[in-house]
Amino acid sequence: MIKTNRINDLLLDRKWILFFVLMVILFLAPVFLSDFRLNLLAKYLVYAIIALGLDLIWGYGGMLSLGQGVFFGLGAYCMAMYLKLGSAGGELPDFMAWSGLTELPWFWKPFQYAWIAVGASVIIPALVATIIGFIIFRSRVHGVYFAILTQALALVVTILLIGQQPYTGGTNGITNFSTIFGFSLADSSAQIILYFITVICLGLVYLFCHWLTESSFGRILIAIRDAEDRIRFCGYNPVTFKVFIFAISAGLAGLAGALFVPQVGIISPAMIGIVPSIEMVIWVAVGGRGTLFGAILGALIVNGCKSYLSESFPDAWLYFLGILYVAVILLVPEGIIGLTKKFFIKRTASISTDSFFLHMRNFLGPFKVFKR
């Protein structure tokens, strides 16, 4: 028990050091990277925020969500509506005019204001998750059934967005943004500012998630993951905890969506469907679920490999990426952080054994009766 605590303390110290080093590198990245590479990195950091939220419900709560892209999309569409109205200059957005609309729909009008768009990007996904989560968890749906329901949710929302062409842009989504908060998106300085905002948001989200998981709430959440019936017998209501963490995770995904749109310049149903949602799960699995830093690491590594392989092997990059996923699942099921933890356990055990024999040899040295 003492040795395990020592290892956990060592990993915790190293984790904070790595987090500090990572943040320093991210803040210095604009000095070394081109505008294109910096924009790619900003997109990866947005994905890391999604991974942190997913890790809360899957790694700590034991609830595998295959529909996280829905909440990411809701936040992205909220911000896209504000950006589109700003680019239209008070006129009707182009795709609405092409679809025959003559007046701005009522639910678009509040998004003329930036503070409403930013707030709605987080609140609406969290509210939707609260309603859906309450219905699902109150019925004691869990495990693979919860995963299937969230996957079905992603499919339904995607079809709904495609079918409402006059209001959502249909398959093409919402694009062609020119300004944000009065600044031109074509200006490189605006993109750099958005990058720094993304870095700061990632750091704050990580600190919030760490505080949440280390609190009594986090310990109860882990207990629900490992033995939900026992928690219920102890007098706690698991539904409340699961709905709350599901809403937090959805709010973080919505925040990521709001950061994603101005940097990438588009949001469409293809970016929020079943396949993107499964990719989000892969990020957490590769990094190591139940480890917040692993979620960030997984999002950065997987998407970095995806970009590198697609550039280097344009005809076969999907095969390489598939092999990478399968290899991680089969060979490193606990992810990169889990592999690192095993390494430190073995190393600490080896050091402890060597120290034991060293002390015994020194103690019994004069008698020449102890040999390793």
User: Which pLDDT value is given to residue 368?
Assistant: 47
User: Which pLDDT value is given to residue 356?
Assistant: 42
Question: pLDDT digit of tens for each residue in the chain (372 aa)?
Answer: 445 555 555 555 677 888 888 999 999 999 998 989 999 999 999 999 999 999 999 999 999 999 999 999 999 999 999 999 988 877 888 888 888 888 899 999 999 999 999 999 999 999 999 999 999 999 888 888 999 999 999 999 999 999 889 999 999 999 988 888 878 888 888 899 999 999 999 999 999 999 999 999 999 999 999 888 888 888 888 999 999 999 999 999 999 999 999 999 999 999 998 889 999 999 999 888 888 988 999 999 999 988 888 888 877 777 877 787 787 777 777 778 877 766 665 555 454 445 544 444 554 454 444 443
Are residue 194 and residue 342 in the same domain, yes or no? no
Are residue 288 and residue 361 in the same domain, yes or no? no
Residue 230: partners with Cβ closer than 8 Å, 6 or more residues away: 223
User: Which pLDDT value is given to residue 353?
Assistant: 45
* CA–CA distance, 298 with 220 (Å, rounded to integer): 26
Are residue 355 and residue 247 in the same domain, yes or no? no
170: DSSP letter: G
How would DSSP label each residue in 198-229? HHHHHHHHHHHHHHHHHSHHHHHHHHHHH-HH
Are residue 158 and residue 269 in the same domain, yes or no? yes
User: Which pLDDT value is given to residue 120?
Assistant: 96
Count CB neighbours of 120 within 10 A. Answer: 23
Ramachandran class of 38: left when φ > 0, alpha when ψ lies in -120 to 50, beta otherwise: alpha
User: Which pLDDT value is given to residue 1?
Assistant: 47
Cα–Cα distances (Å) from 32 to 35, 189, 214, 240, in that order, read: 10, 15, 36, 46
Are residue 276 and residue 298 in the same domain, yes or no? yes
CA 167 to chain centre: 28
User: Which pLDDT value is given to residue 360?
Assistant: 46
Give the domain extent around 228.
36-332
User: Which pLDDT value is given to residue 263?
Assistant: 92
Query: How deeply is 350 buried, as exposed, middle or buried, from its count of CB atoms within 10 A (0-12, 13-18, 19+)?
Result: exposed
Q: Which two tokens stand for residue 180?
A: 């944000």
Cα–Cα distances (Å) from 145 to 64, 137, 140, 141, 248, in that order, read: 10, 11, 10, 6, 21
* Number of domains making up the chain: 2
Are residue 151 and residue 272 in the same domain, yes or no? yes
Are residue 62 and residue 113 in the same domain, yes or no? yes
Are residue 22 and residue 71 in the same domain, yes or no? no
Helix, strand counts (H, E) of the chain: 15, 4
Are residue 350 and residue 284 in the same domain, yes or no? no
User: Which pLDDT value is given to residue 53?
Assistant: 95
What is the model's pTM? 0.88
User: Which pLDDT value is given to residue 187?
Assistant: 86
Identify the CATH number of the domain in which residue 233 sits: 1.10.3470
Are residue 19 and residue 149 in the same domain, yes or no? no
Are residue 328 and residue 210 in the same domain, yes or no? yes
